[in-house]
Structure 1
């Protein structure tokens, strides 16, 4: 007797990524797992009284997306505090959003724009000035983080953090000063981001109950974009176990809607080995459940091995003695069979790190232990081969979509063509998983990352890659699903819609496989299923949505700016609507132009009167 399904989705274009059955019309789910995929008639044989049946009406379905490098736990604690500029297409809009939020934010709270954006996404193609921040928010502290290269603080924020003429520059950072020695509000990472970490950490935090709400809101936003799993890479000022209290509370209450495998990131320079000795006594890799489980160490193993990815600055040389510090930690991890990951941007750094790994492997064989580099933008073929020989992988993120212009300025157009060399990694048969590195150095939107891989362009539209380093859509998607599963040692458990695998899937607003490249970055979910349960629904599927969770506190930026910019109405809107949505101002109901098209016109932004006048729009949403 066949198993009875609790949920059936039918009449869709279901891309299973299962090579034995790549395309199906329907899927049956029971007990949180895929029972079967196939034709409508076959799958309906699993139905019984009480089975929920959803008519997909031809929508495209894919396995749930899995971000192999996301700072979800830290991002969740702070999500409700942050104004997101992801995808906002004009600086005028961004500043208007900031001013509106400053007017709503009570003292002593800050307005924070914490990464995920680039000036090249704006029609004006420039950063905000300090004067603009001070004009927008004369009395409310404002902290604007640009990737991990700089931060802008208005006068109120400088006062709040206590930076004065007498404040010395920290090691590895610069407080920019005027001719009188007073801080201007610009902070520069030179070469590392500790000054940015430390300054942001001075801001007020949400109380624990609101951190719970914040984390749930962030998970809902990720579900909206089709994310069902993530591998959390730890992060600066994210202490274990103290800063894991909220996520563990949500796990205990079955309130997680994104599966998390978490890595532990050392927080104490020169005491890294002590951290990992303590943690290996506390945890075993894989400890937990399919929703929340320990994954190993990293992405920071030792501070001396951190080569931050600021392409505005020259490549940093890692200090002498790095190898000895790294060897002690890696030796301990391999002895305890702890998987590990390590942040590495430059091939020069990777070469030295691999020397350490090979030395340890000669004494204590890795022997199938999962380990991997994160990022690896400039890795060479020789070092990819060394990674493969040690059984490692490479987790790639779309940082170049946000920093490609800077990379070209420093290293040239030829060098950027294979930065990172994803196609070459695949040719050499090294495990590759894809992710974002959000929420600071890049956007958490997986569709921005997929657009980057498929089109080879930055968020500002600059072409970087030729056909040799762009990926076919199906290959890119597989790396975002089954590919990422390797990095949490869950290959075969998730990433494909095949019998026995976890029932995590996404119904898309548009057909990823056929839409124009530019439309990929606007795709979102209209139905997200995790563990066989609907966790997000929109448009035609809205009646299936779980009850909304009110955003708290009431002044939170998420109340008015619910996450990533939406360039078009949700799928529920009428097909063919010419009015474009922009979350900062609502819909421009007067004019018929489409902002995403208008912003790419050749009208000069520098001629503001002509630029805005010709378009005839006061909404500034371009």
Structure 2
């Protein structure tokens, strides 16, 4: 007759070739660490397999992975998971020329009935260099079928005449922030929608997907992320409908990733809105929770809505999207006083400086929660040191630089900024080596989510699949260790978490298992190294969830 399980014995011992703990407190010789003991979703002990086997009883499972390397579970520091389903609706148009986009839209239009809406995403703003941002240039291939195309930065969209007519856009629309329905010299809408509120005005009048379609697409995205090695992500919104989609999913299957949602605080939010967002804190399911808030102080450089100290080459990017920047300071203080962590999207040099000033002005109140700035696309030398000095984490996506800019400065982003400010782009190495916390992420769906590719490109500063391209500011390349820390212990530090991002006793049992040691591979090899398994809360993460009605 079998004895009862020992409540102190591990439920599982994971044995590999090596374990990278990413902790400075590991007592043993790191080279001898190759096993992890797990119970109740937490790490009991880390060390040599010979020693850890002594902790086992007859009920302990032993999972051997010869030749494998275990790291803390990779966490993407910036994504839009449920909102991303909306952002990736329709035809993928990333990296296509204007001619190719027109062909794709013409083909899609031929397949649907008159009046049917067409959606697309990932449009490169550089295709409008000669025409200007004008959706009416697609009228001849879409006819009476309304289109809604999201630009790759997700901060602007293009619609055609059929959509303008269907929604009733006049060009006289006003918004509580710097959003706009752009008009031509006659005052007629061009079909260019600038920033989220203007985009929502149109999108919310278009046909929606069913709940089941959204749940199924969520499963596809999350399982793809798990297969690529992710065990969690910081989701920079809590988009309307997120709770319903997550609860529907968890009623049928286990989420393969841990999801931390930070609701967006709209520019110019009323006190009632702030109170509602504060009340959402602590909402949770089994593997998702609402924690922290997300601000946006500016837009993007590509569409002229970033906040720069000096104007871009078109005289744009001189304002915050908070029409009253003082209202941002007040809202930041509101959440900080409650101990609610904040993240602020700030891309332009003036936007980043303004946010740092606002956090510094909080004084001792700032220490009640963690604070971070997202994106940080161009900053001068004097701003770099302020992150470490103020204890503000930098959350960056170097892949935006490698995918959306070119070393010869021929791209729209670089042209708008000019040589001096473009040379200050995505200063990940400078920030990290100044002593700042540096979390890395993808901003999916703005760029692909595969962390192996993301880390590889943060090292070599060019698209890993295009070896013929010159690197963009190669001096800002990270080491392999720095890149991995950006997805592990620095991702945890960015949210003030002490039980994530490292493999130590008491931490959450979240791991990514590789078939080779990723810290000793070339960037090209890292991008393709196979993920053997991921573990979330001590359990092998699902990679083929079947979601049904």
**2:404 aligned partner:** 403
CA distance in 1, matches of 2:547, 2:252: 15
CA distance in 1, matches of 2:277, 2:336: 14
Q: Does 1:432 align with 2:424?
A: no
Q: Does 1:10 align with 2:15?
A: yes
**2:494 aligned partner:** 487
- Normalised TM-score (structure 2): 0.77
CA distance in 2, matches of 1:15, 1:488: 22
CA distance in 2, matches of 1:332, 1:433: 25
Cα-to-partner distance string for 1:96-153 (whole Å, 9 max, x where unaligned): 98788778778987553333x75899xxxxx9x9899789877865543222365445
**1:279 aligned partner:** 277
Q: Secondary structure at the match of 2:435?
A: coil
Q: Which moved more, 1:223-232 or 1:286-295?
A: 286-295
Q: Does 1:525 align with 2:517?
A: no
**1:230 aligned partner:** 233
Q: Relative to structure 1, is the Cα distance of residues 114 and 519 closer, same or farther in structure 2, using a 3 angstrom cutoff?
A: farther
**2:392 aligned partner:** 392
CA distance in 2, matches of 1:169, 1:188: 11
Q: Secondary structure at the match of 1:409?
A: helix
Given that 2:37 and 2:45 are in contact with CA atoms closer than 8 Å, whether structure 1 keeps it comes out as yes
Q: Relative to structure 1, is the Cα distance of residues 105 and 228 closer, same or farther in structure 2, using a 3 angstrom cutoff?
A: farther
Q: Number of matched residues?
A: 514
**1:374 aligned partner:** 374
Q: Relative to structure 1, is the Cα distance of residues 210 and 59 closer, same or farther in structure 2, using a 3 angstrom cutoff?
A: same
Q: Relative to structure 1, is the Cα distance of residues 359 and 499 closer, same or farther in structure 2, using a 3 angstrom cutoff?
A: closer
**2:327 aligned partner:** 325
For structure 1, list consecutive stretches of 5 or more residues without a partner in the other structure.
122-126, 538-545, 553-622
Given that 2:254 and 2:542 are in contact with CA atoms closer than 8 Å, whether structure 1 keeps it comes out as no
CA distance in 2, matches of 1:99, 1:548: 34
CA distance in 1, matches of 2:336, 2:520: 45
CA distance in 2, matches of 1:101, 1:113: 10
Q: Relative to structure 1, is the Cα distance of residues 11 and 367 closer, same or farther in structure 2, using a 3 angstrom cutoff?
A: closer
Q: Does 1:187 align with 2:179?
A: no
Query: How far off is 1:476 after superposition?
Result: 0.8
Query: How far off is 1:219 after superposition?
Result: 1.6
Given that 1:295 and 1:488 are in contact with CA atoms closer than 8 Å, whether structure 2 keeps it comes out as no
Given that 1:323 and 1:356 are in contact with CA atoms closer than 8 Å, whether structure 2 keeps it comes out as no
Given that 2:457 and 2:463 are in contact with CA atoms closer than 8 Å, whether structure 1 keeps it comes out as yes
Query: How far off is 1:393 after superposition?
Result: 1.7
CA distance in 1, matches of 2:542, 2:459: 26
For structure 2, list consecutive stretches of 5 or more residues without a partner in the other structure.
1-5, 306-311, 406-410
Q: Relative to structure 1, is the Cα distance of residues 396 and 101 closer, same or farther in structure 2, using a 3 angstrom cutoff?
A: same
Q: Give 1:202's match in structure 2, choosing from 201, 205, 211.
A: 205
**1:463 aligned partner:** 471
Given that 1:217 and 1:549 are in contact with CA atoms closer than 8 Å, whether structure 2 keeps it comes out as no
Q: Secondary structure at the match of 1:261?
A: strand
Q: Relative to structure 1, is the Cα distance of residues 103 and 62 closer, same or farther in structure 2, using a 3 angstrom cutoff?
A: farther
Q: Does 1:472 align with 2:479?
A: yes
Q: Does 1:295 align with 2:291?
A: yes
Q: Does 1:27 align with 2:36?
A: yes
Q: Relative to structure 1, is the Cα distance of residues 274 and 22 closer, same or farther in structure 2, using a 3 angstrom cutoff?
A: farther
CA distance in 2, matches of 1:432, 1:322: 29
